[in-house]
Structure 1
Amino acid sequence: MEKQLAFTGILSNKAEENPDFFNWNRVKVRYCDGASFSGDSQDEAAQLQFRGQKIWQAAMEELLSKGMKKANQALLSGCSAGGLASIIHCDEFRTLFPTSTKVKCLSDAGFFLDAVDVAGVRTMRNLFGGVVKLQEVQKNLPESCLKQLDPTSCFFPQNLINHVQTPLFLLNAAYDSWQVQDSLVSGSADPHGSWNDCKHNRALCNSSQIQFFQDFRNQMLNYIKGFSGESRTGLFINSCFAHCHSELQDTWFADDSPVIGNTPVATAVGQWYFDRKTVKAIDCPYPCGKTCHNTVFK
């Protein structure tokens, strides 16, 4: 039996759960290619085909044929790998609509950093490098970036965001839990388990471990300095150890949702999208996020 997708958070059709977008036509495109819908290669010897870009294009063509081309407003959003896809395809998404259509993009937990892990290795860069090479992702990255940097670097949001012309909102935890656990403090980076206690309970982290997390946050904030100065961009960077906010009801818009300055994520995104208010929300460092849901790593 096929599992039904949950339409919660920004995909909810209930006004009390999703006040700004509940009455929109909402579509979720299933992620399946391993390269944020940007691969386009094949290896005949290994009988491998990577067609993420073509899947993206086919999905957009289908939606346009069903009436999306007549939209007055459109928002491309995604979480995690989908958040990266929202950055990569943002300008391409803009071209699908008339200039009169309000088109913006939201990247949730897609700001993967090219950072050094606790063993001094660039784990994410090694991972991204393999994906870019295997799937020939460079075919679908901005030429303006590729003229300055190598393809792997241009797959990282820290280098991509300044090449996106369409209004873009970055929604991210400053201490993204996926990056912490799978990139910065993975089992391979910490084979002796010296980080195990800290990973499962931040109250057990020593000062140097907390400083490592603060350095990671500082790197993120440094990379978005130029981006944040643009009038068309939006930011919501909280001090949670979390991964993805927009598609989960309790972190998108609920009585106890994470807030910055009393503003929950849904309200911030709505204010930005509808040009009601400039949104550049960055919380102070951990342990500042008193409204974060998760107090320990999973």
Structure 2
Amino acid sequence: MIRSTCVLLSLLSGVFLQQTFAILHLHKLPEEIANSTGAVCLDGTPPAFYLAPAETASPKNTSWVIFFRGGGWCYDADECAERAMTDLGSTKDLSPNVTFADGVLSSDSSTNPFAAYNRAWLWYCDGASFSGDVETPVSAKGVSIYFRGHRILNEVFAYLASDFGFNQATDVLLSGCSAGGLATYLHADYIRDNLLPSSVKRFKVMPISGFFLMHDTYDGAPKYQEQMKGVFEMQNCTNGVNSQCVANHEGEEWRCMFANESAAHVTSPMFPVNSALDSWQMGNIWFGDENCVASGQFQNCTSGQIADLNKYQTDFLVDFTSSGIPNRKGNGMFIESCFEHCAANDAGFSEYSIDGIVLKNALMQWWNSSVNADPKQFSYLPCSLQTQPPHQCNPSCSSTTDSLEQYFKPIATHKEK
């Protein structure tokens, strides 16, 4: 599901890594804490994160990027049991190190303005965007599985504070892509109000590719809504999503599992980054015009198909606007028309542009702005696809390509590409 440039340390030379990539080292929550709190992955293993600490002498040694890993969801107990046997439901077989070549987790200061920060990548192993909490293990396919994502959220932040210096943080950028982007919407205010140390002076959030539409399929079926409602109910997510949203949707609390509903109540300053024609949504929510969005940037589409895609983009923007994000002081946004998913944590971070402003520069202008700034100063919106070839209206989108071959399949879990 996720486009990421995670590269195993063992595949590259140490010198090359030090010069080019951020080396993030694995840390697992101590088993005694995991067992006493019940903060465990689907298979019962302790949760984990990867960390690249800032230099002790650096002026940024109290600045942090906290990034939620993505990886889809499991929609029923059997799928979750299968997922528990993968690295999306377990931490038992994780590599000791990972690396990133681009995005806010990279150590390359020429491309990443956050390169000198402490950078933590939170491992995703609960199947519900860090939101579930079921006390009793569930039996499926002959194994016991645990729905404890919200406990993982609490205990990982506590461990970062007790053992890794997060208790002295002054500046925090919360981010994540895909299911991790959704987690950013769902938990932003909870983290601000409950998990940050009092030393934090600046807290802002950047959800990437996490604004999944509550949208019917091309032929009118509410498939994705039903799937996410099932996740919410199965994993008991009521106390793991935005509390104000839950209060406003009595009897339909499951709606708060969607970014538009939760974001309507988020007061933390945010800068969503998303494609209005997100490739994962094309293959898992909409299911339309498969032949024309199979690869590339829509060059194989007919004029009728382009009209369909522009309609989906319009639906995205209507949903996004109705959340209130574009009108809230301190916010910004970078919504493009590229056929991609999570490319903002890849090459798109340094290459995507709107109105001549590159994504990473737009992000930094917003990051350094007042929490009361006019959101229009930091708002970048997509163009409409062109009727005539090559159709893609944003030339910077050509820097990345995506393929729907893996998306138009009945798959239970969506691993990082």
- Relative to the length of structure 2, the TM-score reads 0.65
User: Do the aligned partners of 1:123 and 1:184 also contact (CA within 8 Å) in 2?
Assistant: no
Aligned position for 1:53: 150
Aligned position for 1:252: 349
User: Do the aligned partners of 1:116 and 1:184 also contact (CA within 8 Å) in 2?
Assistant: yes
Structure 2 CA distance, aligned partners of 1:138 and 1:2?
Answer: 30
Structure 2 CA distance, aligned partners of 1:145 and 1:297?
Answer: 35
Aligned position for 1:281: 380
User: Do the aligned partners of 1:82 and 1:110 also contact (CA within 8 Å) in 2?
Assistant: yes
The one of 12, 21, 24 aligned to 2:114: 21
The one of 92, 95, 99 aligned to 2:190: 92
DSSP 3-state at the match of 2:104: helix
The letter of the residue matching 2:354 is I
The letter of the residue matching 1:224 is F
Aligned position for 2:244: 144
Note the 1:25-174 alignment, pairs <5 A: 25-41=118-134, 42-46=136-140, 47-65=144-162, 66-95=164-193, 96-98=196-198, 101-149=201-249, 150-174=252-276
User: Do the aligned partners of 2:295 and 2:402 also contact (CA within 8 Å) in 1?
Assistant: yes
DSSP 3-state at the match of 1:106: strand
Structure 2 CA distance, aligned partners of 1:235 and 1:102?
Answer: 18
Structure 1 CA distance, aligned partners of 2:190 and 2:217?
Answer: 33
Q: How far does residue 17 in structure 1 lie from its aligned partner after superposition?
A: 1.9
Aligned position for 1:217: 313
Cα deviations across residues 178-219 of structure 1 (Å, max 9, x unaligned)?
Answer: 01012211xxxx7xxx73344346233233322222122112
Structure 1 CA distance, aligned partners of 2:309 and 2:278?
Answer: 10
Structure 2 CA distance, aligned partners of 1:10 and 1:220?
Answer: 25
Q: Which runs of 5+ in 2 are unaligned?
A: 1-92, 386-391, 405-417
Aligned position for 1:182: 284
- Give the aligned length: 286
User: Do the aligned partners of 1:115 and 1:216 also contact (CA within 8 Å) in 2?
Assistant: no
Q: How far does residue 138 in structure 1 lie from its aligned partner after superposition?
A: 1.4
Q: How far does residue 44 in structure 1 lie from its aligned partner after superposition?
A: 4.3
The letter of the residue matching 1:238 is E
DSSP 3-state at the match of 2:344: coil
DSSP 3-state at the match of 2:211: coil
DSSP 3-state at the match of 1:6: strand
User: Do the aligned partners of 1:39 and 1:53 also contact (CA within 8 Å) in 2?
Assistant: yes
DSSP 3-state at the match of 2:124: coil
User: Do the aligned partners of 1:111 and 1:172 also contact (CA within 8 Å) in 2?
Assistant: yes
User: Do the aligned partners of 2:245 and 2:261 also contact (CA within 8 Å) in 1?
Assistant: yes
The letter of the residue matching 1:27 is A
Is 1:237 the counterpart of 2:331 in the alignment?
Answer: no
Q: How far does residue 86 in structure 1 lie from its aligned partner after superposition?
A: 0.8
Structure 2 CA distance, aligned partners of 1:229 and 1:50?
Answer: 36
DSSP 3-state at the match of 1:199: coil
Structure 1 CA distance, aligned partners of 2:343 and 2:168?
Answer: 29
Greater Rg by CA = 2
Cα deviations across residues 65-102 of structure 1 (Å, max 9, x unaligned)?
Answer: 12112111001100001101111110122122327520
User: Do the aligned partners of 1:76 and 1:93 also contact (CA within 8 Å) in 2?
Assistant: no
Structural RMSD (CA) = 2.0
Aligned position for 1:290: 395
User: Do the aligned partners of 1:175 and 1:241 also contact (CA within 8 Å) in 2?
Assistant: yes
Q: Percent identity?
A: 30
Q: Which moved more, 1:86-95 or 1:2-11?
A: 2-11
Distance 1:72 1:217, change over 3 A: same
User: Do the aligned partners of 2:181 and 2:211 also contact (CA within 8 Å) in 1?
Assistant: yes
Structure 1 CA distance, aligned partners of 2:262 and 2:199?
Answer: 23
DSSP 3-state at the match of 1:105: strand
Q: How far does residue 2 in structure 1 lie from its aligned partner after superposition?
A: 4.5
